[in-house]
Structure formats: C-alpha cells, structure tokens
Structure 1
C-alpha cells in the first residue's frame, strides 16, 4: 500500500474527526495552487499504514503529520504545520520567523491546542468525507 503513494506529493495526515484539523485541511486545499499536497486521515487505512511505515504510535491522534514519500522523511506537530504553511507563500511565509524558536517551545504551544482542540473547536462523529472536487486529493 505504501509503495503506491505518489512520490511527487507531500502527504498530510490529520485527525479526521477534529473540526480544527478539517478546517486546516480546507485552508491547505484553498492555498495549494501548485497541487503539492495529498491528504489522509490518521484513522484511515492508508493513514494507519503510513504511520506504521514510519514506526509511529497509531493511537496518538493529536498531531498533524507531513510525510514526504519521495524523500522518506516526515514532520509532525509544529514542524509539520510550519512546513505546510511555508508552501502557501506570500504573507504566510512570515510565520517562519517562529521556527527560530526551539522546537520544544513551538511544540508546547501546539500541544496545548491539540489537547483542547475538541473542547474549543468540536469534533465530528465520523471522519471527513471529501467533496467530489476534492476526491482526487485524498488517498484511500
């Protein structure tokens, strides 16, 4: 299953029932003019397979993961968010200034949001279903 992933795309794994995470995916799709990203929920079959391939704990659904299959590298938490936002270009690149902070500081803020994301933003009963226009961008 991992062998069939597109090597020329960056894959965003996200919590499919989290409203904040789904909003982030919507934001990525709206800014992804160069068609850089593909998406899969952490809970999906392909999402679990990617996490197992990367030897990650599949019970931890509190982090966005950016996987680059062509390079066999991944980023999670604040590192993934910053790298995704960097692809947006324009004023979004200004957020990269926060990367000068130690990762543990950026991840501290990320972890607080992740911990309370359901309380603050709510959650769905089931994973996000892509629209017809979005279907080609979602794996699995």
Structure 2
C-alpha cells in the first residue's frame, strides 16, 4: 500500500518520510529500533511506537489490530511494508553489510510467513515485554514523529 492511500492527515504527516513503527513494549522490537538507530547513520528514518497516537492511527487505517500488534510497519519511498518485507525494506536503507539482508524480500510469501509469524506471535514469551512503552531521551526524541 502507498502512503498516498492513507487518510489525508496521515498522508500529509508521512509524505516524503521514511518511518519505522514498532511495538514499544516488546523487547525484541525495541532491540530492532535500537539497531536501526545505531546503524542508520544517515538518519533516513523517523520512528513511532505502535502504542503512540500516530502508530494507532496507522494500524487503524491499515485495519491491523490495535492492541496485539501482529507486525511492525516500515515506510520507505511512500510505500508501506509489513512483516518480513518491512525488515527487508529497512535493511535496504542501511549501508553494507546490512543492506544485503534486503534479499529477504525475494523469498516466497509462504517462506516469509513461516519465518515471521511464529516469532511475532511468541515474541513476548521468547524475548520478554517491558512494563511500559519506550520513552526516548531528548537526543532520540527528535527522530520520533507525532510526539508532542
């Protein structure tokens, strides 16, 4: 799906921006966020938690669950990616060697789902869950969209 197909306020907020939306209570998802923050030296990405007003609006617009988040979202070049395709899209924007992980997008859907869905479904049990959602420090806060 393209950002331009989202409701107007979301389309306007996200137009021309790359964004990663992740579950801020999930230890695994938050580790992915920290990995991206560390390796995205060109600062191509903005971030939002799925629990934030922006995250909730995006999940609602995409008819995705608003509580038990089944996927992270990655927006690059106006396209919204989900599940393993989201991971591949994010990796494609990083420098080598990380960008080579974009090859995951070429896997057949059945293989991608077989890899992604069990991890997503069991991520809290396997990796843990924070009691509260991630709160960025002042340096990182400027990279988040929709924070007031």
Matches within 5 A, 1:17-56: 17-56=25-64
Gaps spanning 5+ residues in structure 2: where? 1-8
Which of these residues, 124, 127, 136, is aligned with residue 133 of structure 2?
127
Tell me how far 1:43 sits from its aligned partner.
1.4
Alignment TM-score, normalising by the size of structure 1? 0.87
TM superposition shift of 1:48:
0.7
Deviation of the 1:96 alpha carbon: 2.8
C-alpha distance in 2, partners of 1:56/1:18? Answer: 17
Closer, same or farther: CA 55–118 of 1 in aligned 2, 3 Å: closer
Aligned residues: 138
**Which sections of structure 1, spanning at least 5 residues, go unmatched?**
none
Where does residue 66 of structure 1 map in the other structure? 74
1:115 pairs with 121, 131, 134, which one? 121
Q: What root-mean-square deviation, in Å, do the aligned CA atoms of Structure 1 and Structure 2 show?
A: 1.8
